[in-house]
Amino acid sequence: MLDQTVTADGRTIGGVVMEMRNITLRFGGVIAIKDISFDVREGEIRAIIGPNGAGKSSMLNVMSGFYHPQEGEVWFRGEKRRPMRPYQIARQGIARTFQNIALFDGMSVLDNIMTGRLNHMKSNFLEQAIWWGKAEREEVANRAKAEEVIDFLEIQSIRKTPVGRLPYGLKKRVELARALVAEPKILLLDEPMAGMNVEEKEDMCRFILDVNDEFGTTIVLIEHDMGVVMDLSDRVVVMDYGKKIGDGVPDEVRANQEVIDAYLGVSHD
Amino acid sequence: MFYREAGDFKTSYAADSQTFPIAFDRWRYYFVIAAGFGLLPFIINDYWSNAILLPFLIYAIAAIGLNILVGYCGQVSLGTGGFMAVGAYTSYKLMTAFPWLDMVSITILSGVMTAIVGVAFGLPSLRIKGFYLAVATLAAQFFLIWLFNRVPWFFNYSASGQISAPERSLFGQAVTGPAADPSAKYLFCLVFAFALAWLARNLTRGSVGRQWMAIRDMDIAAEIIGVNPLRAKLSAFAVSSFYVGIAGALFFTVYLGAAEPGTAFGIQKSFLVLFMVIIGGLGSIFGSFAGAAFMVLLPVLLTNVLTGAFGWDSALARHFEFVIVGGLIMFFLIVEPHGLARLWALAKEKLRLWPFPH
């Protein structure tokens, strides 16, 4: 693709992998997103920030194909994305986590994570019913991959626990594992640190940085904790009332007058 | 004391994900299979076969089928009786139209036919959920029974409107009809129950089963992960109806011998199988067997105790049975809403640490 840059900490950031062009999303008369464009480059950590109701989660839902924007185009890996269902988009290599955890409560941690491997499992119905040859080999191979992620996120001890019994912080981690095990091209994280205490936040930051560093996964994240965002991300998009008011490296955004106004308020005199 | 994981090390993922990870469980399972195939056929008599073992095996197949749909995929169905009737009438039509066809093929084809009908009635599940879907499947129940009652082609224009199974044999042994030997009937049903339970276990442990459970637990998240909801739901309907259809075919050909749709496959049957699934445990193959055993054995046991041991009048005992069975169902649901399978699992967990719980 285009150019390559090397960041201060030695990671390589490639060309544009995903591009949102003039996205507008309306719910009836409410305009959730208004004519927003930005791009995501390969290997970077891209943050989307903004006050409550700015349209950040809607933007993530557009990226993961859950909402279909009325106007605008999504370009993914050099191709314009045609309208498709969310599960088809997942197969293209986009995984996500949710703001309010969306795990499968009745299943164990391991089964949740194995569900994330669905798109890598090819054996058909009959092969699985007989459970001979391909189905079993595939299960074992994917289990090995799942165990890698379990090791990586340090959740070995709970792999057979039903998800419903886990505390909040661990659930968030399991959800990250489920997204990560799909080996996505782009990982979308919707407030991965919401509701966590400082230690849990630090753990989660470490995992996000490690994922990006070790697997080279491109990450788009929404976060409210400014310290986290400024530390983690390579570039930041700032939204307010469905519009983009800032875009650039953290220092640029921090100095942007519109952003300061949006966060601190403006005196009307 | 033998119920231990300690020292039982698993060195491969295949060994870790086997159905019975504890050696004691595994041996008990082999023992039950050996006794079922090798011992019971020789000691079985008409009473044991007709009152206990045949209904148990056939209802267990139906319960596994319904459990796949309700317990694993989370789609409520009240059409089980109707789908059993589809299996029964398909087997009847096949038996009378193709007398040379063997019973195994007939039974499997009945399942296939029911799967097709089940998928057709499962289409609304793509749009509606929960109670509304239950009502849609209720429509299937009433429509199918009406169809089999009203369209004479289905009962070969017989004057009574009943269907009755002609005698068919397998390997020289009659398995249907009045002359069939109880052990032959029993073995025929046992083979189906065993094979179908094994297939169901394989399906539910792999990625197909995980897709079903993902749809059950959170359908939106499942779709975003890459589960195709259309395929997952319809495949659950297909597999479930296949099982229920086979159960219906066996119920008619092997167990009843003659049937009339309203009484044999009415709405009570749908509820009975649903009770088995709920009492046995949603989302558990073992639970399906346990639920079927509970609902089949309890009335038999009560009759024997009330009339035999207490010397009650048999009519009084029969009515009182309803009260006791109903009360026990409520008791079980209050004490353990997750069914007998969960009670069993809890007992095993306790046993694993016994006698040193700390």
Closest CB from B223, B225, B235 relative to A125: B235
pLDDT-derived band at A262, boundaries 50, 70, 90: confident
Nearest CA in chain A to B18: A136
Residue ranges making up the domain that contains B250: 44-278
Query: Which of A128, A130, A156, A187 to probe the B interface (max B CBs under 10 A)?
Result: A128
Nearest CA in chain B to A88: B226
* Mean pLDDT confidence for A17-35: 91
Closest CB from A105, A128, A143 relative to B13: A143
Instruction: Tell me the shortest Cα–Cα distance from A74 to chain B, in angstroms.
Output: 17
Query: Which of B224, B228, B231, B282 to probe the A interface (max A CBs under 10 A)?
Result: B224
Q: Do A107 and B214 touch (CB under 8 A)?
A: yes
pLDDT at B62: 95
pLDDT at B243: 95
Cα–Cα distance measured from residue A230 to residue A254, given in angstroms and rounded to the nearest whole number: 9
Cα–Cα distance measured from residue B301 to residue B306, given in angstroms and rounded to the nearest whole number: 9
pLDDT at A1: 44
Q: Find chain B residues with C-beta within 8 A of A84's C-beta.
A: none
Is B82 a domain residue?
A: yes
pLDDT at B197: 93
DSSP state of B265: S
Instruction: Tell me the shortest Cα–Cα distance from B207 to chain A, in angstroms.
Output: 7
Question: Which phi and psi (to 5°) does residue B291 adopt?
Answer: -65, -45
Q: Find chain A residues with C-beta within 8 A of B225's C-beta.
A: 87, 90, 95, 115-116, 118, 178, 182
Type and span of the H or E element at B155: none
pLDDT at A78: 86
Domain boundaries, chain A: 1-93+184-269, 102-181
A221-239 pLDDT per residue, tens: 998 888 888 888 999 999 9
Q: A130-155 burial string, b = 16+ CB within 10 Å, else e?
A: bbeeebbebbeebbebbbebbebbeb
A96-154 pLDDT per residue, tens: 999 888 899 889 999 999 999 888 888 888 888 888 788 888 888 888 999 999 999 88
pLDDT at A187: 93
Q: Are strands B169-170 and A235-240 parallel, antiparallel or unpaired?
A: unpaired
**Tell me, which fold does domain A1-93+184-269 have in CATH?**
Rossmann fold (3.40.50)
Nearest CA in chain A to B203: A129
Q: Do A119 and B226 touch (CB under 8 A)?
A: yes
Q: Do A136 and B14 touch (CB under 8 A)?
A: yes
Cα–Cα distance measured from residue B189 to residue B53, given in angstroms and rounded to the nearest whole number: 9
Is B283 a domain residue?
A: no
SS3 letters across chain A: CCCCEECCCCCEECCEEEEEEEEEEEECCEEEEEEEEEEEECCCEEEEECCCCCCHHHHHHHHCCCCCCCEEEEEECCEECCCCCHHHHHHHCEEECCCCCCCCCCCEHHHHHHHCCHHHCCCCHHHHHHCCCHHHHHHHHHHHHHHHHHHHCCCHHHCCCEHHHCCHHHHHHHHHHHHHCCCCCEEEEECCCCCCCHHHHHHHHHHHHHHHHHHCCEEEEECCCHHHHHHHCCEEEEEECCEEEEEECHHHHHHCHHHHHHHHCCCCC
Q: Find chain A residues with C-beta within 8 A of B283's C-beta.
A: 106
Instruction: Tell me the shortest Cα–Cα distance from A89 to chain B, in angstroms.
Output: 8
**A2 pLDDT more than 70:** no
Is B232 a domain residue?
A: yes
Q: Find chain B residues with C-beta within 8 A of A133's C-beta.
A: none
Instruction: Tell me the shortest Cα–Cα distance from B314 to chain A, in angstroms.
Output: 45
pLDDT at A260: 84
Q: Do A129 and B199 touch (CB under 8 A)?
A: yes
* pLDDT per 10-residue tile (average), chain B, 358 residues: 66 77 82 87 83 92 94 91 94 90 91 94 86 90 92 86 82 78 88 93 90 91 90 94 95 89 89 90 90 89 82 82 84 82 82 73
Is B38 a domain residue?
A: no
Q: Do B12 and A178 touch (CB under 8 A)?
A: no
Is B311 a domain residue?
A: no
Query: Which of A62, A117, A118, A122 to probe the B interface (max B CBs under 10 A)?
Result: A118
Q: Do B13 and A139 touch (CB under 8 A)?
A: yes
Cα–Cα distance measured from residue B98 to residue B96, given in angstroms and rounded to the nearest whole number: 6
What total of structural domains would you count in chain B? 1
* Mean pLDDT confidence for A258-267: 79
Q: Do A87 and B229 touch (CB under 8 A)?
A: yes
